[in-house]
Structure formats: C-alpha cells, structure tokens
Structure 1
C-alpha cells in the first residue's frame, strides 16, 4: 500500500444484539479517535509508522469474532528535502576529501589527478531502497582499473587515486517495491596535455623550401598554460608540412661582395647581378633582365669601400737611459709614440686605435743604477738588561764600482735596511742600584738625575750625586 493522506478499513459483522467493535495494531489497542461508524477505521496522514498488523474484534453477549489484515506501507525512492544527514555522513567519512552529491539532473566535480573523492547518494523511501552504483553506465563492481569503496550501506562511493580513466559519469540507482530513482554526478580530472593545432606561417612564399610547423600547445581544460606543465607528458611527434610549393616571380639575384681592392684610402668591391626565376622544383634559371626590371630596380654591382684614412703608429728614437732606477743596473728610457697618416700628418691617437700601439717605455742598462744598500756594524747596546736597550748602525746607498755614497733615491728600488733596533730586552738579574746604560755620566753632568726615567737607568751614578 503506497502512502496517501487517508486509508479506510472495513469489516462487516452481523449479530444480535449489535456487536461492540475494537481495533488493534500489532496487538495494541487503538484509541477511539481512529474509529468511525459501523466499525470502520480511518487512518489519516499515513506514514511508515502506521505499518503493521491491524485486527478488528467484534463481541456481544453470545461471543466474539476477530479478523486481521497486514498493512504494508510503500514509499518510492526520492530525494530528501533536507540534505544535512548525508552531508554530515560525507564529512565524517572523509573530512579532507572533496565530495559531491548526486542529483536526478546530474552534478559535476573537477579534481586534480591522483586525488580521492566521495560521491553521496541522498535518498529516502520505504522500505529502505537498495542502492547500486554505476560508472559509465556499467555496474561499478565490474569496472576495471578503478579503485573504489562502497560505504554507508551504499549511500557513499569513495573513488581513490583518480586518473583519466576514473573520470566520467557515476550514477546511483535506488529501488524498492514502490519504484526506482536514478541520480548521477560527473568527475572531471583536471590534467595537462599537449595539443597540436594552428600551423605557423609558411616559411617561404614560393619555391621548393616552404614549410609550416604545427604548433604545440600545453592545455589545461582547453586553456593554454606554460609548456613546463606538460614536461612529463608524451610530446606528440610533429612533422613540417610543405607549403607554397610553386614557381616564384622573376627576381634579381646577387652574389656576395668581392674583397675590397684597398684596405684603406678608398677602394672598390663588386658583385654579380642576374635576373633569375626559381622553379617549384628548386632549380633557378637565368632569364632576361627585362623580366626583373618590371618588378624591381636593378641592384648596384659596384660600391666604394674602406674609405677611412690610411694611418699608422710612428715613434721617435729612445731617449737617454736616465730614468728612475728600478733594479740593479736597470733604469727606464722613454720615446714618443704618435698616430699619423702615411703622408706624415699627425692625427689624434683615437684614429689609430684599431692598430696595436707600440710601447713608449722600456728597461735599459744604467751605470748610475749600479748601486746597493751598505750597512755598518751594530753599535753596543745601550743597556745590559731591562726594557730600554737599543743599538744603531749606519745605512747608506753606495755605488758598486766606486764604493762611494750616492743619493738614497737611487737605491729605492730595494727595501732600505733598518738603522736601529732594540736589544738586551731581558729582566735584570737583581734589583741592586746600578747603571743600565753607558750615558749615565752625561746624565749626571746635565743634571737629569731628578727625572724618573734617567734616575732608574742611572741608579748607580745618580745615587752618588
């Protein structure tokens, strides 16, 4: 019995006196609001809770009689008006997984490859409908290459590790004794792929070499993206396509220019100019010049070249070897270097910048630079111990041959030796009062003993003062 607003039950009993009628459902007595006249029973707003065994008992003074009937409520599969339950079930099954609900008209979910997804089949009916899933119109249990799990008594389908073979239409068929309902949803795998389209412009307008290269594009859902996204995809093999293979109009053909007759000062170079026709076969044949003059002006076959001045570097004789000493017996000498024409006209140096420039300085042997540093022996140390001892020596630049002193700048090419150094910087063995320098008599004569620095060094002499 399908759901409706009202249902009547009629049982006819005859008896004298008139029998009293009582109704039961599943052996439980029904209240009087359900009763109608002549023993009939009215059910209003029928729902699945009204399903059960209904019994009618008629009784009078002479006895009683009971009749029963089974009421089975049938509710065909349909989409519930409230979807909170199925949404909560999806969230509990896969909190972080993308999901979609099927519908009679169909829904869609776009996903990246490798992901998993949940499909929910919202359905209600009585008895509880049996749910069967399909992929591409075939029962999902027979699908190959599809990793899936049916959960929650068929209400949820989980599809794992999505790929190109996983996309397409998924449908759930709900059926019970009262009817059937089909709902569907489509999974679209968002993936990159190479597309071959749109030929490039032909490389030639005529002749036998024109080709067009097919253009490769990396697409995502029919939208062009950076080709780097398709790096892992198999690149289609593309072959150039011949195009514009036809005879060319007559045209002027020129050879390369010959070498210039002069390297500077103005020369001439020539080339060969002919009128030719290029065939579709690739063969070029000479034709009358008149056939080309109608198309374009004849190119020149002679032109001037290397118009720049003929220039060169010139230089004077080397000067005397009297420059600064740079080593033993070595000095520096100079000469003038300048740019000029071959006729002797002086020009700015920039005019000769393309030519290697001669050197303007060089090393030379000089008797005046035969010098070296000479040092004397160190003097005696001014102290035998303590922190104030020093000694000195004489340092001078001398000529190697004459052994006579010369100006020190002639020896500046080498480091000048030190002319003093500290010495005997050791602790004194005892602390008795004694002189530690050789100049204490002078200190006493100059009356410097009252100064602490001299008093400590000349303790013996100053103590006698």
Structure 2
C-alpha cells in the first residue's frame, strides 16, 4: 500500500541524485550512506504524515507543492572575473545545480543533458603595465677566444586591445623594472695560430691583357707556428678590364700669366662606356691628354712646361710621385713641343719627388667560420683586424673595412621549422581562445601562437 502512494506529488526517488535514479530501488542498489540517510528521512517523514491523517494531501510543515522538474535545476551564475588583468579579455558564465530552496548542491543531482552552454563576452581590465622585451643574442663577435654577444632591449606596452607597441624606456624604469643586460661575454675555442690576409690589390693589367693581383699574408703569431702547407696564396693572375675605358677632358681654364709663366689647365678623367669616372690606372697612360698648356702670348718661345703630379706610387707610407716635364711653346697660338736642348738655357724642373700617404695601416682578415646552420639561412663570421706593421692599430680606412659577417645557405631546409618564439603564454587561456574562435584577433593569435597554428 505504501509503495504505491505519492505524497504531495513528490516521488520517493526525487531525493536521489539524477545520475543514480532507477526504475526501482532494491536492496542491491548502490547508494552512499549520506544519500541513503536522506532517502530514509523523506520516506519516514511522508509515511508518518500518512498514518496521522486520513487525507492524501498532507504537506510537510513549511513546504509548498514542488514538481519533480523543480526539485533540482540548473542556475546560470554571473560572469567570472575577466581573463585578462589589463586591456581586453574574456569573461565566462557558468551553470551550477541548485535545490528547490536555492541551496547549491552537487552537479550530479541535475540532468547533464539540460545543462546551459556557457556564454562569453569581452571585458576590460586595468591599464597594462610596461615590460622589457629582448631580441635574440647575436653571434659571438669572435670566432675563437673571448668575444661579446649583443641583443636589443626595448620597453613595450599594450596601449589598446590588439595594439602592442614599443615605448620610451623611461616607462619601464619608472615602473621599477630591472633592465635586462644587452651585452654578455662569450667564449669559443682558444685562438691558435692562423693565417691573416689583407685585401687583394687592383689588377696590374691594362685593358684586354693579363696581370697579377697581390695581397699580404701574415701569421697571427710567430710565422714558425703557422702551418706553411695551409698558407693562402699571396698572388694570383687576373685579366685587365674591358677595353671600353677612355680619357675625357674638360674645357681649358683661364691663363694664369704672361708668356713663359702663364699656364692653362683642364681636368682629365678616365671613364667607362657608361660615363662613370674610374681609376686612372684603368686607362692607357700613353694616350693620356695633356692637362697643362703654355699661354700668355700668340707666339711664346720654347720653355719648360710641367704637367700635374701623378698619384703617389705608394698606397701608404713613403713613396715617389712623378710628373711629365716638356719643352714646349706657342707658334701663332698653336701648341708645339720642342727637343729638350731648346730649353736647356734654364734648369729643368724636377720630374720626381718623395711623397707620403697615410701611415701604413692595413686591414687583415681571418678565414670564414662554418655556416651557423646546416640548412636554410645562416651566418658565417671572421675576424677583421687593423695592423700597422706588426702592431694592431686604429689607422685603417673605415670605408674599406672588410665585412666580418656574411649570410650563408648550404642547402634549403626540407620544411620550415616553427619559429622559436611561437609558443603559448602561460597567462593565456588558449583552450578557451580556440573554443570561442579568437585566433583571428591579433592579440590572442600572438598570446596563443602555438595553439592557433596547430588549429589552422
């Protein structure tokens, strides 16, 4: 009789968690002691009310009639705190299982199939704090021995959602952030004896002929300690430039004085077919036009006429310079050259003179290191030193300094490796970012780089 009754439209099974309800409850049903005690309280409460009354609508004191659907239900909470502490983030709602009187209970009492889906919305946190960002360390400045590595350090700040920018360093310093170091020491294998080379000289050949190029080869320590069998060549053959060079002249300038003293001069340049001025050594000296003419009178007797000095024959230090001295004059305004004996009445000017160019400081380089990568784009390094004689110096021409770093690529990589910097930030909820499809947003694509890349 009792098992077939319903009290206040509440079945006995209502107090059992939803996940444990069965068509019937037997002695073999598995129920925790706490839930069994709840079952018994409800059972005896209703049976007691039944035997003390002849009516079927007896209610427990303080309870209204409650339907089965309203005994336990899902309740959507307010949104959780913003996922980002600054700028934009995501706030997510969540559902909790509550009893008819509003008390939160275990989720197993509610029907999982009717649980509401969480909702998400953007939220804004406080102003973002600045931070230091660093680049990767450079290669060691020396291929052997002790050197230095460098990196760039900048202050960054998120100014607006999706807008991360570098800012003045003062912002990071004012926030009390310790500046990361920009330089650190690095050490490679000890520098043993090695050959050091100067740059190749110009080819000695004229156009269309063969010549030689030379360079200095020296040992970084005592010559006896360097391997002579590995010594690089100090001379090699070369072919002169194409025969497209020619001399060009400017207009004559004004006369500087009277006959015998007066001179007219003009500029002489060696040019290629494109009209570009090149070294005078690239044009034939035998065909070089005169740069200086006598002047001062229509008829000017023979006298010594000095041409301009040629360049010093030494690239540095002491050398000799030469010039052409001619016995020449004018007849009816026309330039004429005469035998030297016509001018012997006066002393012939010097045709040679000592000259001195900058101190002999020369750039020397070591051989290139191996490429830093076995595939793809890498770099190779070498040491560049300035020597004056046998001593390291500072007098080398900086404009002609050989490069110390060079790009290299041994072979293409089979597949492009992922960027080293592409990783998920620990502060980002990347599972949620993927779920609400935020990888198209600049900020979240960067914060969850690895997850977004795998998803795509």
TM-score by length of 1: 0.26
- Structure with higher Rg: it is 1
Greater strand share, 1 or 2? 1
TM-score by length of 2: 0.26
Greater helix share, 1 or 2? 2
